[in-house]
Each structure stands twice: as structure tokens, then as C-alpha cells.
């Protein structure tokens, strides 16, 4: 069996399951937000602030943010592995992807929790 060194999961099956699980989380968050936007008669800053003031919404948003990072890493790792053949260029691409995902994660944490 071939071992993957750049993937989050230990095998293709684990990556497959992680991609599907994170997709479900992302879809759930999107459905919730679309429902909230559709059902809120007057959407203003106060309503938006009230929505994100609750710990439950912060946790749901944080879990979704983690799902974006995992989903993005596995998906882009697979694309780079499949389509970028020069090892050096692929390594640079993966490094850039990691930096971007970490920047998104840290920015999201600061915005969400006010750290």
C-alpha cells in the first residue's frame, strides 16, 4: 500500500470520508444562513450581531471554518498532486495553499472570537 505524506487522512478512503463530512458541514451552514436571511424581515447590523452573539452560532461557525480548511487542503492537495508534476512547483503550490488556509483560519478566529 502506498502511504500518502501530504494528505490529512491516512489513506484515500479517509480523505474521501473527510471531504464528504466537511461538505455536509458546509452545506448545513449554508442552508442555515440562507434560511436565516430568508426568514429575517429586517436584516440590519443589530440582527446580524445578535445572531453571532450566541455561543452556539460561534461554535457552528468555527466548526464550519475548520471544515473549510480541511476541505480546502484535501481538495487542493489532490488537484496539485494530480495535475502539477514537477515536485518543486507542487511543493511551492502546497506551501502557498497551507499559508492561505492558515491565514483564513486565524483571521476567522480573530473575527469570530475577538481574540
Feature table: binding site for a ubiquinone: 83
Listed residue (21, 110, 25) closest to 63, CA to CA:
25
Rg, Å, the chain Cα set? 17
| Residue stretches of the annotated binding site for heme | 71
| Residue stretches of the annotated binding site | 71, 83
Q: How many angstroms separate the CA atoms of 95 and 103, rounded?
A: 12
Amino acid at each position: 500500500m502506498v502511504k500518502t505524506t501530504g494528505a490529512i487522512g491516512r489513506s484515500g478512503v479517509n480523505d474521501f470520508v473527510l471531504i464528504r463530512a466537511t461538505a455536509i458541514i458546509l452545506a448545513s451552514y449554508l442552508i442555515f444562513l440562507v434560511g436565516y436571511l430568508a426568514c429575517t424581515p429586517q436584516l440590519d447590523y443589530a440582527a446580524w450581531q445578535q445572531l453571532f452573539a450566541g455561543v452556539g452560532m460561534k461554535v457552528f461557525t468555527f466548526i464550519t471554518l475548520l471544515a473549510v480548511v480541511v476541505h480546502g487542503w484535501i481538495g487542493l492537495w489532490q488537484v496539485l498532486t494530480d495535475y502539477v508534476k514537477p515536485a518543486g512547483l507542487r511543493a511551492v503550490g502546497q506551501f502557498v495553499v497551507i499559508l492561505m488556509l492558515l491565514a483564513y483560519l486565524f483571521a476567522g478566529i480573530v473575527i469570530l472570537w475577538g481574540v
